[in-house]
Amino acid sequence: MRHLLLVTLFLSAAISFADEPTVKKVLYIGLDGTRFDAMEKAATPNLDALMKEGIYSDTCLILGDRYQKNDTVSGPGWSTILTGVWADKHGVHDNSFLGTHYKEFPHFFARLKEVRPDAKTASYVTWEPIHKFIVSAADETKNFEQKEHTTADYDRYDHEAAVAAVKMLKEGNPDALFFYVGQIDVAGHTNGFHPTVSQYIQAIERGDALVGDLVTAMKARATYEKEDWLVIVTSDHGGKGTGHGGGHKIPEILNSFLIVSGPSAQRGKFEKQVYLPDAPVTALAHLGVKAKEEWKLDGRVVGLK
C-alpha cells in the first residue's frame, strides 16, 4: 500500500511537470553586412550549430517583389527586419531616417506587447539609429556605438553589447531579445565584402563567437528546460567591393541569409523564397502572436514546425 502511494505520488508529479506548457521565447540576432558565402568560408561553429538545429536560406532577399525603391543600406534593412514591412510602409529609404512611419508600422516588440502586455523585451545594438529611431516598446534598450569607427573599436562595442545581452539572458527573463553585431559591416567597408578578404572573415568569426556567448547563456538559464527558444539570425544586406549602396541588381548585395533555429524550427534548407520581413513575423508567431490584418505586415511565417 505504501509503495502504491509512492508510485502514485511520483506519477502525478511527473504528469503535472509534463503538463506545464513550455514558455516560448525568441533570441533575435542581426549581423550587419554579412555575406553567406563569406560565412561559409569563415570558421563559424556557433552559426553552423544553429543551422544544423534549424532551417536556413542563403538567398533571403532584402528587397520585395512589390517595392524596391529604397537604397540597399542599413536604415531600410533594419527597419524591415524589425517591423516586418517594406520601405514603402515604414518609410525609411536611406540612412537619413526622414519620413519614418514607425507609429503606423512599429518595431515587432510593440506588436508583441499589443497582444501580450506583460511580455519582456530587450535590445542591444552597436548602431545608434536602431536604438534612437527604430526600437520601441523595449523594457531595456542600449546602444554601444561611439564616435570611433575602426573595426577594432567596433569589436569593443559589439563585445559590450554582448556582455549586456548575456547579463539579461542570465539574470532577466526576456521573451524577445535583439542583439546586433556591427563590426562585420565595418570590416567590409574598410577592407572589402568578400570571402577572400581576411579582415572580413575574421570579423565574421568574432561575430560568431559573440553569437556563441549568447546561445551559451540562453542554454544555461535555470529555467531553460521549461522554455522553447527560437533563435533567428539574419543580415540587412551583403556587399561588393567596399560598399553595398545602390545594389538593386547586384546579387551579392541583394541576397542575405536567414536562420530559424531551435526545437520548434523545421530542419534543412528553405525550398521557397524567403524575405527579410518574414523574420519578425516568424518571431511573433513563435511568441503566440498572430499578425492582425490591420497591421498590414509584408512578412509571412516561415520555418516553424
- Angle at 225 (CA atoms; ends 220, 226), nearest 5 degrees: 125
Quote the CA–CA distance of 191 and 189 in Å, as a whole number. Answer: 6
For Zn ion, give the closer residue by CB, 30 or 64: 30
Question: At closest approach, how far in Å is the CB of 35 from Zn ion?
Answer: 12
For Zn ion, give the closer residue by CB, 74 or 282: 74
For Zn ion, give the closer residue by CB, 74 or 136: 74
Quote the CA–CA distance of 302 and 13 in Å, as a whole number. Answer: 36
Task: Convert 76-95 to b/e letters by CB count within 10 Å (16 or more is b).
Answer: bbbbbbbbbbbbebbbbbbe
Per CB under 5 A, contacts with Zn ion among 249-278 are none
For Zn ion, give the closer residue by CB, 33 or 174: 33
Q: Is 175 in the site for Zn ion (CB under 5 A)?
A: no
Quote the CA–CA distance of 57 and 60 in Å, as a whole number. Answer: 6
Per CB under 5 A, contacts with Zn ion among 77-116 are none
Out of 155, 175, 236, 298, the only residue in the binding site for Zn ion (CB under 5 A) is: 236
Distance of CA 153 to the CA centre of its chain: 22
Q: What residue is closest to Zn ion based on CB?
A: 74
Question: At closest approach, how far in Å is the CB of 291 from Zn ion?
Answer: 25
Residue span binding Zn ion (CB under 5 A) among the ranges 24-32, 157-165, 220-228, 256-264: 24-32
Question: At closest approach, how far in Å is the CB of 290 from Zn ion?
Answer: 30
Question: At closest approach, how far in Å is the CB of 33 from Zn ion?
Answer: 5
- Angle at 36 (CA atoms; ends 35, 42), nearest 5 degrees: 95
For Zn ion, give the closer residue by CB, 32 or 155: 32
For Zn ion, give the closer residue by CB, 185 or 252: 185
Residue span binding Zn ion (CB under 5 A) among the ranges 54-62, 132-140, 177-185, 292-300: 177-185
For Zn ion, give the closer residue by CB, 64 or 129: 129
Out of 28, 32, 137, 278, the only residue in the binding site for Zn ion (CB under 5 A) is: 32
Taking residues 58 to 77 in sequence order and writing x for each that binds Zn ion by CB under 5 A, - otherwise, the string is: ----------------x---
For Zn ion, give the closer residue by CB, 89 or 237: 237
Quote the CA–CA distance of 262 and 243 in Å, as a whole number. Answer: 33
Question: At closest approach, how far in Å is the CB of 221 from Zn ion?
Answer: 30
Phi, psi of 95 (to 5 degrees): -90, 10
Query: Among 274, 297, 289, 277, which Cα is nearest to 54's?
Result: 274
Distance of CA 234 to the CA centre of its chain: 6
Question: At closest approach, how far in Å is the CB of 128 from Zn ion?
Answer: 13
Task: Say how many residues touch Zn ion, by CB under 5 A.
Answer: 5
Q: Which residues contact Zn ion (rule: CB under 5 A)?
A: 32-33, 74, 185, 236
